[in-house]
Structure 1
Amino acid sequence: MSQRITINDVASAAGVSRQTVSRALNDKGEIDGDTKQRVLDAAKELGYRPSRFARGLVRPDTTSIGLVIPDLLNPFFTEVAAAALEAARAKGWHVVVYDTADSVDEELSTLQVIGSQVDAVVGYFNLSETQLDQHTHGIPVVLIGREHHATRFSSIRIEGAQGVRSAVDHLVAAGHRRIGMLDHAHAEPSDKHQWFCDAMNAHGLSPDKVAGAVQSVDGGADALTRLLKAQPDVTAIFTFNDIIAIGALRAARRSGRDLAVIGFDGLQLGTVVDPALTTVALDTRKIGALAVEQAARLMAGDEPLSGEDLVVQAVLLLRESA
C-alpha cells in the first residue's frame, strides 16, 4: 500500500512551511500568487486530497467540514450539532453530519467516506489518534471531549470535576449519605465516574454503589431498578447523562421511591419532565461554536486557541429533582 501523503509532504515539495500550504489551500490572501500556485501544483502532483485537487469534485473556494456525532437521537448531541451548524453557517461553510451510532466500525466507515472530501473533521471519536491519522489524510481534526497529541489535531475539553463535586456537595448538604451512580454501560468507567468517586471520597463516603446504564430513558430506568435491588438503602443518584436521569426519575416514581436524582448535560428536555431535572450543565452552544472556530484556525494556519480557551466548564443547575 502506498504511503499516505500529508500536508508536510506538500510543504517539503513546494519549499514552504506547513502554515503556508494551509493558507494556499484555503485561498487565504496573505501569500503571493506564485507561491500559492507552487503549493497547488505540488498538492496536485502528489495527489494530496484528490477529491478536491486531482478530481475537482469540490470548488477550491468551498469550505466543507465533517461533523461526526455518536447518537443524534440523544438530545445532547443534537444540541451540540445544532450549535456547530449555526457557527459553520455564519462562515458560509458546508457541513456533512454523520451519526456513528457510538460504534468504532461506523466511525471507520464514516472517515473512509468523508476523510478525503472535507477540509476538516470535528466531533466525537472512540478511535485512537493513530487510526484517526490514517483516515483523515492530513486535514485538521478537532476532537470534542477528549485530549489530543498530534499537532494537526486539537480538542475541546470538558471539565466536569468541579460541577460533579458541587452536585455531591449539594446532596450531602441535603442529608444524603448513601449516594449511587448510574454510569454508561461501556466496559471502562467514564470520566464522570472518576469525578463522582473523587467527590464522594472528599466527603469520606463510599462511591461503590454504581450500575451501568444503556444511554436511553429505558436504559436509565432499568439501571436504577437493578441498583436499588442490589443497594436498597440508596437515597440519591447521580447519572452519566440527563437521558439516563430521566429514566431513573420514571423508575423511581413507578416504584414509589422518594429519590433525589441529578443528571449531567443540562438539556432543555430536563425542564419539561416532572419534577424538573437538577443537572450538571454544559453549554452546548459553546462546545459547537468552539469546535468550528478551532477548525477555522487550524485550516487557516493561524495560531490555534489553547489552554483554558478550549475548556468548557460544567456547572450545577438546581431544579426540582434534588
Structure 2
Amino acid sequence: MSEQQQPPRRVTLKDVAKLAGVSHQTVSRAINDKGEIDPETRRRVLDAARELNYRPSRFARGLVSPGATTLGLIVSDVENPFFPELIAGVIEAAEERGWQVLISSTQNRDAREPELIRTLAAQADVVIGYLSAPDATLTAAAEGLPLVVLGRAVDEPAFGAVEVDTDVGVRAAIAHLVSRGHRAIGMIDCADDGTPDRRPAFHAAMAGHGLPVADDAISGGTLTVEGGETAFVRLRAARPDITAVFTFNDLMALGVYRAARRLGVRIPEDCAVIGFDGLPLGELIDPPLTSVYLDKRRMGAIAVTEAARLLSGEPAGRALLPVRLIVRGSA
C-alpha cells in the first residue's frame, strides 16, 4: 500500500490532551465523566475531542469502571510499621470520596520509583507516593500524571506535597533532653540518599541551646533496626561521653536499644534515647520510647485532599503535618 493509501492514524488520547493543553489523565477523567474535575476543564477537553473526532478504544473504556476515580499509592516497604497507618489513612479518605486505591511498593529499591509511576499512569488518575527521587526524575516518569509527594519538600510546582514539620519536632526533642541536663547529645542519622534530611534541624536545635555538634557526634545507618544498632555501636566507640541520642526514626531507636543491651549501656541512666515517628511499638519496649509523634493516618487523609485539589484543576498545594513530642521512659 502506498503512502497515499495508508489509512489515517487513529486519534489518541494524547492528541486530545495536547490540543486541550492538559494531561492525558485529565482527558481520561473528562471523557469518562469522572468527578474531581473543573467543569471548564471538562468542557475544553470535550471540545478538543469533538474537534479531533476522538473515539476511546474498547480497551481504554474497560480499564476502570465509568465514573470511578483510581488513586495509586507508592510506599517503600509495606512491612515497615510506619506505612500501615499511612495506607489505612489513604484508603479511608479515598473511600469516603468513592475512589478506588491501588497500592505498590518499591521494596526499598528507590530506583524502582520511576517504573512504578509509569505503571500506575496507565491505571490511576492520580498518584500519592513516599518518593525519594529528584523532582526532575519524578516529572519525567509522571508525564503529566497528577502527583502528591509525602514526607519531604518539593520544588516542582505541579506536584502536591505533604511535608512533616520536622524542625518543630527536633527542637522539642533537643529542648527536652537539655531540660533533663544533657549537654553531650548525639544523633543516629539516616545514610540513605534521597531521604528527608533531619540533620540541619538537629544542628539548628543544638545551636539554639549553645551546644556544638562535632562530626563524630553523628553516626549514620540504614533506616532499619540493624542500621540503628550498627550506628550506635560506632557512635559509642567514637564518643563514649555522649549521654543522649536523637534517632532519625523509631526503627533506628530500636536498634539503639538492642546495641545498648549488648554493650551494657542502660537506657536512660547511661544514655537517653528519643525517636521520631511515634510508632505504637514504642510503647511496648522497656523502657517505653520517647518519640516525636506524627499522625500517619492524618497524613494519608491530607494527601488525598491534595490529590483531589490536583484532579479538580486547582494549583498544587503544600500541606504541613504537625508533630508533637510524646515523653515516655527512655528520655
- Which of the residues 64, 71, 80 maps onto 2:70? 64
How far off its partner does 1:90 sit? 1.9
- Which of the residues 314, 324, 328 maps onto 1:315? 324
How far off its partner does 1:78 sit? 2.2
* Matches of 1:146 and 1:160, distance apart in 2: 10
Q: Does 1:102 align with 2:108?
A: yes
Give the direction of change, closer, same or farther, for the CA distance of 1:56–1:199 in structure 2 (3 Å limit): same
* Matches of 1:43 and 1:156, distance apart in 2: 38
| Residues 20 and 44 in structure 2, CA contact (< 8 A), matched pair in contact too | no
Aligned to 1:262: 274
Aligned to 1:289: 301
- Which of the residues 31, 34, 44 maps onto 1:27? 34
Select the structure of larger CA radius of gyration.
2
How far off its partner does 1:35 sit? 6.1
Deviations 1:274-319 (A, max 9, x none): 1111001111111100001111121122466x45xx1112211111
Aligned to 1:11: 20
| Residues 163 and 321 in structure 2, CA contact (< 8 A), matched pair in contact too | yes
| Residues 67 and 95 in structure 1, CA contact (< 8 A), matched pair in contact too | yes
Deviations 1:216-262 (A, max 9, x none): 21221121111101111111000000010011122213322121000
* Matches of 1:147 and 1:140, distance apart in 2: 16
The residue type paired with residue 297 of structure 1 is R
Residues matched between the structures, number: 309
Tell me the secondary structure at the aligned position of residue 75 of structure 1.
coil
Aligned to 1:277: 289
The residue type paired with residue 282 of structure 1 is L
Show structure 2 runs of 5+ residues with no match.
1-12
How far off its partner does 1:40 sit? 5.0
* Matches of 1:242 and 1:236, distance apart in 2: 15
Q: Does 1:220 align with 2:228?
A: yes
Deviations 1:139-195 (A, max 9, x none): 210011223344431111111112111111111111111111000122578521111
Deviations 1:125-151 (A, max 9, x none): 122222222222322100112233444
Tell me the secondary structure at the aligned position of residue 82 of structure 2.
helix
Q: CA RMSD in A?
A: 3.1
Which range moved further: 254-263 or 239-248? 254-263
How far off its partner does 1:42 sit? 6.8
How far off its partner does 1:215 sit? 1.5
Aligned to 2:126: 120
Aligned to 1:243: 251
How far off its partner does 1:196 sit? 0.7
Which range moved further: 182-191 or 135-144? 182-191
The residue type paired with residue 169 of structure 1 is A
The residue type paired with residue 105 of structure 2 is D
Q: Does 1:130 align with 2:130?
A: no
Deviations 1:1-40 (A, max 9, x none): xxx9498624249xxxx99996665534974997664355
| Residues 22 and 301 in structure 1, CA contact (< 8 A), matched pair in contact too | no
Normalised to the residue count of structure 2, the TM-score between the two structures is: 0.83
The residue type paired with residue 293 of structure 2 is A
Normalised to the residue count of structure 1, the TM-score between the two structures is: 0.85
Percentage identity across paired residues of the two chains: 38
* Matches of 1:227 and 1:44, distance apart in 2: 67
The residue type paired with residue 174 of structure 1 is R
> Where do residues 176-215 of structure 1 align in structure 2 (5 Å cutoff)?
176-187=182-193, 190-208=196-214, 209-215=217-223
* Matches of 1:132 and 1:292, distance apart in 2: 19
The residue type paired with residue 63 of structure 2 is L
| Residues 192 and 223 in structure 2, CA contact (< 8 A), matched pair in contact too | no
* Matches of 1:166 and 1:7, distance apart in 2: 52
Deviations 1:33-92 (A, max 9, x none): 976643555798499xx8x98464223312111101012221112221121111112222
Q: Does 1:156 align with 2:162?
A: yes
Deviations 1:98-141 (A, max 9, x none): 11133232112212321222100101112222222222232210
